[in-house]
Amino acid sequence: MKSLLKIENVKKTYGKTSNAYTALENISFQIERGEFVGIMGPSGAGKSTLLNLLATIDTPSEGKIFMNDKSIHDMKEAALSDFRRDNLGFIFQDYNLLDSLTVKENILLPLAITKVPAKEIEKRVQKIAKVFGIEALLSQYSYQISGGQKQRTAAARAIVTEPALILADEPTGALDSKSATDLLESLSSLNANNESTIMMVTHDAFAASFCRRIIFIKDGKLSKEIYRRDQTRKVFFQEILDTLSAIGGEVDDVI
């Protein structure tokens, strides 16, 4: 089977040639279907830039990104929109929920966009709400619920369309440890039970320990790659910490 995502020699520079800043350089890796990949690295390493490139809201300066063997940055605007709609789900650090819609409406927004029939929408929303434990909140407005509940809503919105790839940008960044654990466990079980492919950017070793594979980035370059295999989460957590101190990431930053 072919890889879901293939990233080839991607480079991203910002600014004019005179004082250009290289955010990413020589990045190549692949993600297979059903993987749960974490991207780690200290602040400013280029994690979010990489995610923006995958999210197609930014374009690489050099190199190509293939998804299902299609170069996503060579697509036309309309095709790109369809591609995002059908293949990608996003979870942001700051949730990006619409305050004027209820939790339910926020979750069904992408389904409404894809013109799924109302009956089907209802079914899917109920199902995904159960996964994230937010059934009781469905009729509330997003400004009425807590940060952890907002993030679970955002995750539900990302997943409700059953996208080929879920992109999560520091999803636990603003959450307390209980909410973070709840969310990560939901993502983890989605990955295990539904074979959803998830790529999560984080600088938090605890969050990363839920992943199956972790790619480390430092100063815009790939630095190391580790697999969880059949280790327990605790052991994997320790391995992540060790790797981080080995490659010289700021240990302060990861605790």
Which parts of this chain interact with another protein (CB under 8 A)?
52, 55-58, 77-78, 81-86, 88, 90, 96, 98-101, 105, 108-110, 112-115, 118, 121, 143
Query: Which among 113, 116, 55, 53 has a CA at the least distance from the CA of 87?
Result: 55
Q: Residue 90 or residue 236: which is nearer to another protein going by CB?
A: 90
Bridge partner list, 10: 27
The H-or-E segment that residue 245 falls in is helix 233-247
**At 49, which amino acid appears?**
T
User: Minimal distance in Å, beta carbon 57 to another protein?
Assistant: 4
Q: Residue 58 or residue 239: which is nearer to another protein going by CB?
A: 58
Query: Which among 4, 42, 36, 31 has a CA at the least distance from the CA of 185?
Result: 36
Q: Residue 114 or residue 245: which is nearer to another protein going by CB?
A: 114
The H-or-E segment that residue 89 falls in is strand 88-91
Q: How far is residue 73's CA from residue 48's CA, in Å, rounded to a whole number? A: 17
User: Minimal distance in Å, beta carbon 130 to another protein?
Assistant: 20
Q: Residue 29 or residue 83: which is nearer to another protein going by CB?
A: 83
Locate the DSSP E strands across the chain: 5-14, 21-31, 36-40, 62-67, 70-71, 88-91, 165-169, 197-201, 213-218, 221-227
**Scanning the structure block, which residue is given the tokens 């996003």?**
90
User: Minimal distance in Å, beta carbon 128 to another protein?
Assistant: 15
Q: Residue 81 or residue 232: which is nearer to another protein going by CB?
A: 81
User: Minimal distance in Å, beta carbon 239 to another protein?
Assistant: 34
User: Minimal distance in Å, beta carbon 47 to another protein?
Assistant: 15
Q: Residue 113 or residue 192: which is nearer to another protein going by CB?
A: 113
Query: 3-state DSSP helix/strand/coil percent for the chain, to nearest 5?
Result: 40, 25, 35
Query: Which among 136, 72, 75 has a CA at the least distance from the CA of 104?
Result: 136
Q: Residue 110 or residue 249: which is nearer to another protein going by CB?
A: 110
User: Minimal distance in Å, beta carbon 1 to another protein?
Assistant: 25
**Cβ contacts of residue 44 below 8 Å, gap of 6+?**
none
User: Minimal distance in Å, beta carbon 220 to another protein?
Assistant: 18
